[in-house]
Structure 1
Amino acid sequence: MSDDAPDQESKTEDPSQKKLDDAHKKGDVAKSQEVTTWFMLLGSAIVFAMLSPWASTEMSQSLSLIFANADQIDVEGSGFTDFFNGLAFSLIGVATIPLLVLFVCGILANLVQHRPVWSVEPITPKFSKISPIGGFKRLFSADALVNFGKGLVKIAVVGAVVVAICWPERDRLDTMMTADPIMILMDFQEIGIKIFMGVLAVVTAIAAADFFYMRQKWWKRQMMTVQETREEYKQMEGDPHVKGRLRQLRQERSRKRMMAAVPDATVVITNPTHFAVALKYDKNMAAPKCVAKGADAIAFRIRELAKENDVPIVENPPLARALFASVDIDETIPGEHFKAVAEVIGFVMRLKRPGGGWRPSA
């Protein structure tokens, strides 16, 4: 305990998605056994309420036939084998549907708590699981004491609920043995449903509290130290797939910012089809600045945005190719292109003056 406490106290960072995914692959998930118990009780209640009359009828008919024809049953040789197989198949037929209901409830109990887990690690033999010292530590650990306490509370509460339900029915229970068999079954079903409902109500509260407790405990176990977070980040940065994805995200964000700047550009210089460079200039700027550039499909999109926002488009293939190769986004144009760009911008400014003859590009 003293060795674990400092380690747990140093885990101050929330677990990363990678840490959670790795835990899931190992079968380490948040799971409450009380939730599973609740679903199994629910399945049992459904079976008891809906199928017990049918099951009782089937079994009573089979047993009635056996008792009525007991003197005709061949108990020697193959006759007894056939009789036993027929009785076994009848019992299996009666038990099949209840077993299927409980099987489905068991699956649902896990699906509502976590994603499907396909891992053999939880059942892989480990020396620590068979070590006497390890078993002794688990037997007297804090988890074992908590589970023992939960078991005592559950037994006491459920027992109190059963007594509270059965005590008012004590007179009926006394006379049940002398009643007609059909009445016994009806009384038994009625009292049984009451018991199931009462127990389910109590187990619901227990299961909800235990689920949140187990999930909180699992979350704390997955928390990471600052050093673990840094190491994981370094590993992810070194992963070529992760680096490629990060590069793609950065390029997408950069492209979106670039396209958003095209409507505010002063002019777009084109190749005319292969390259497009959008420039922005105003009197407060020392030199024109490139706000967007692209080739082929991106160039086409820049031209389309320019047309939609009435940004002048000037075809100058040599200048477009030179600017595309020599200037990056958000950089001012190189000095050797000042004269050519100044002529283009001056031409655009003259066209924008009243009576200058400029019209939005078609």
Structure 2
Amino acid sequence: MGDKTEKATPKRRRDERKKGNVLLVQDVIAVATLIGSVMMIRVLFPTYVEKLQGMFRYTYSYLGLMAEGVAIEEFLGEIVVQGAIIFVQTAGLMLAITVLMAVSATFAQTRLLVTGELLKPKFNRISPAQGIKRIFSLRSIVEALKGLLKISILLYLIYTSVEELVRVSGNFLYTALPEACGYLLEAIFFMLLKVILAFAALAGFDFLYQWWDHERKMKMSKQEIKEEYKQTEGDPQVKGKIKEIQRKMAQARMMQQVPQADVIIRNPTHYAIALAYKPGQDAAPKVLAKGQDELAMRIVQKAEECEIPTIENVPLAHALYDTAELYQEIPPALYGPVAEVLVYVFKLANKLPG
């Protein structure tokens, strides 16, 4: 098929999109969900703490009943229901935001593409040869290096954050518990923020790489472009033959109109125009046929066979060929010159009084 050096055509992109072959970077989705989760924790953490405290107080309120000898089975169902409600209000909301961010990041990249093409079984996916090829492909090497880089960055950020906490941990002996917990939470939040920034940078570079790789795979050879053109526009040779047939049919219909003409105005060898005019019926003379070179000679020969007068008038022939449309009335600018010719022809044919 030749080297694939040409950019993908719009049709190729539409076809690949229908197959689900679009640019989709998983790291972008991961960073989006991480951002959504961390922001939710940051904003709603006080609410989470309040709800958990309420759950603990609610649970402890039943301890007195147990001390009075009430069996735990009698109120265990209420505790489970209340716990489920708290779980939905905290973890459920977090899960909903995470799913929303993941779906938004996916649709933003695929432009709302929904297709089941990728779910269809393909035997090349279970082919050992194809599997080995994928393992040792450039993409697999890049993914492996990217995974090592992410792990290295994550371990480094955790190590530096924990090291900072260890250095200041001695101060916690002289700090109230709420303040110490608040400091720890802030430290954890900033550590997560650093992770997000680092992973976002990696996702940006990964997006550029995968975009380049996607465009490289989408490229087409010149032969593929020619084949696509044949499929969409038709074979140029076939189209040329069709146009030739249509042209000959149009000429044949036009030649059938020549016997109805009243006069042929011609340039001696290049142009011929057949005109017809019925006084009292037509508003102006009409063009029944016109042609150039070989077609002009055919019109003149047909007119001679039908004994139709032929007038040589070079300027008028040029003007009629350039401005008058086939089967239409002549332009008003040519009424005068054409009228002179028709009067002369009609007088010769005794169609007008002398």
TM score, norm. by length of structure 2: 0.64
Distance in 1 (CA, whole Å) between partners of 2:329 and 2:176 is 110
How many residue pairs match? The answer is 267
Q: Which is further off, 122-131 or 209-218?
A: 122-131
User: 2:4·2:219 contact (CA, 8 Å) conserved in 1?
Assistant: yes
Q: 1:46 aligns with which of 32, 39, 43?
A: 39
Q: Is residue 25 of structure 2 the alignment partner of residue 32 of structure 1?
A: yes
What is the CA distance between 1:208 and its match in structure 2? 0.9
Distance in 2 (CA, whole Å) between partners of 1:321 and 1:45 is 84
What is the CA distance between 1:41 and its match in structure 2? 1.6
What is the CA distance between 1:338 and its match in structure 2? 12
What is the CA distance between 1:171 and its match in structure 2? 3.5
Alpha carbons of structure 1 residues 346 and 54: separation in structure 2 relative to 1, 3 Å:
same
Q: 2:105 aligns with which of 88, 109, 114?
A: 109
Distance in 2 (CA, whole Å) between partners of 1:177 and 1:127 is 64
Q: Is residue 294 of structure 2 the alignment partner of residue 318 of structure 1?
A: no
Query: 1:277 maps to which residue?
Result: none
**What secondary structure sits across from 2:109 in the alignment?**
coil
What is the CA distance between 1:122 and its match in structure 2? 1.5
What is the CA distance between 1:27 and its match in structure 2? 0.9
Q: Is residue 210 of structure 2 the alignment partner of residue 214 of structure 1?
A: yes
TM score, norm. by length of structure 1: 0.63
Identity %: 23
What is the CA distance between 1:146 and its match in structure 2? 1.2
**What secondary structure sits across from 1:107 in the alignment?**
helix
Report the AA paired with residue 56 of structure 1.
V
Q: Is residue 183 of structure 2 the alignment partner of residue 183 of structure 1?
A: no
What is the CA distance between 1:83 and its match in structure 2? 2.2
Distance in 2 (CA, whole Å) between partners of 1:155 and 1:196 is 14
Report the AA paired with residue 335 of structure 2.
V
Report the AA paired with residue 141 of structure 1.
S
What's the CA shift string for 1:202-222, capped at 9, x where partnerless? 122111110011011111111
Q: Is residue 10 of structure 2 the alignment partner of residue 17 of structure 1?
A: yes
Q: 1:197 aligns with which of 173, 193, 201?
A: 193
**What secondary structure sits across from 1:12 in the alignment?**
strand
What is the CA distance between 1:164 and its match in structure 2? 2.9
What's the CA shift string for 1:127-175, capped at 9, x where partnerless? 3333455434433333222111001011112322333344223244466
Alpha carbons of structure 1 residues 206 and 344: separation in structure 2 relative to 1, 3 Å:
same
**What secondary structure sits across from 1:112 in the alignment?**
helix
User: 2:124·2:130 contact (CA, 8 Å) conserved in 1?
Assistant: yes
Report the AA paired with residue 140 of structure 1.
F
Q: Which is further off, 29-38 or 109-118?
A: 109-118
Report the AA paired with residue 43 of structure 1.
G
What's the CA shift string for 1:302-354, capped at 9, x where partnerless? xxxxxxxxxxxxxx97365714x6469994359xx99997762569xxxxxxx
Alpha carbons of structure 1 residues 89 and 135: separation in structure 2 relative to 1, 3 Å:
farther
Aligned CA-pair RMSD: 3.8
- The 5-angstrom pairing of residues 76-225 of structure 1 reads 76-77=72-73, 79-173=75-169, 182-225=178-221
**Which runs of 5 or more structure 1 residues have no equivalent in the other structure?**
1-6, 244-285, 290-315, 348-362
Query: 2:59 maps to which residue?
Result: 66
What is the CA distance between 1:89 and its match in structure 2? 2.1
Distance in 1 (CA, whole Å) between partners of 2:54 and 2:320 is 89
Alpha carbons of structure 1 residues 343 and 104: separation in structure 2 relative to 1, 3 Å:
closer
**Which runs of 5 or more structure 2 residues have no equivalent in the other structure?**
240-269, 274-279, 292-318, 339-354
User: 1:165·1:195 contact (CA, 8 Å) conserved in 2?
Assistant: yes
Distance in 2 (CA, whole Å) between partners of 1:13 and 1:51 is 52
Distance in 1 (CA, whole Å) between partners of 2:127 and 2:337 is 87
**What secondary structure sits across from 2:190 in the alignment?**
helix
Report the AA paired with residue 207 of structure 1.
A
Query: 2:50 maps to which residue?
Result: 57
What is the CA distance between 1:33 and its match in structure 2? 1.4
